[in-house]
Structure 1
Amino acid sequence: MVLLKGYDENGFVWYTNYESRKAHELSENPHASLLFYWDGLNRQVRVEGSVEKVSDEESEQYFHSRPRGSQLGAIVSKQSTVVSGRNVLHDLYKELEGKYSDGSLIPKPNYWGGYRLKPELFEFWQGQKSRLHDRLQYSPEESNGQRVWRIERLAP
């Protein structure tokens, strides 16, 4: 699970540790899906596409827009690795907190940055009591030199 931090005409962006399990998986297979689920509405949107790293400049800009505590946490957490105890994380955090207590710029670690998923398919799903859920799939195609969305209804 990731926290979506932005979207624009180029895709959906999130940030993470480039040495995490999900990052290693993306390096081997740069395709992913995002799922937005609203239980109370009985709806979801699924987005599939190719994934690439965002630029260092974009990662740097976002890193320094975060609260200082979140910046320190990104340095402390070697995401997905085994730690001997929570105290190890707290001790390292306190050490870094002291090191940067003068308000100096906290450097973004090289192993931390963003990814962008470029949408290649959207599926809109609305659940039905009959279990005949409503599913619409949107996929891009070229028509007369323009990108248009082909809409297909899928069986539940």
Structure 2
Amino acid sequence: MYSENSRPWFFWLLLAIGLILLVMFAWIEELQMAENSDVYVVRVTYGIVLVYLVWMIWACSRYIVYFDGQSIIVGYIGWKVTLAINEIESAEKVDIAWLKWGGMGWRIRGLKSIGYITKSGPGIEIQTTRKGRKYTFNCADQHALLSEMKRFQIQVKEKKS
């Protein structure tokens, strides 16, 4: 069994943005009340933005990689994928460059490559039978995860040169 659970650095960024927006909302609310004007539109707009931001903060609060021999779970608390062992064709070590993925978080390249990217560095790419998709994700201990996968007869490819 392999288990990894971490908090991505951008969680703190989202949290800071949320707190700043909350303070700004309170400040604008105070100004609007002082002027005694209609603030309905401002309240609704800020409310929608804050609800979305709170959801994003929760969804990205934990990054998990979990393999138990039956399935692998990869992603964020609110946005993850579960692949059964029979859906996995192969796995291999990769070096992830988040700029090549166009950022961090849940990323899509075309229709066949999906990434769960938290930083540049070590990662794993899994080829699946699910519509021929590849899932690429960060992994703190590539060797341990690939050893576990190999133990359950998943083909582990050598790194591309």
Q: Which has the higher helix share?
A: 2
Query: Higher strand proportion, which one?
Result: 1
Same fold by TM-score greater than 0.5 = no
**TM-score of the pair, normalised by structure 2:** 0.21
**Which is bigger in relative contact order (C-alpha 8 A, separation at least 6)?**
1
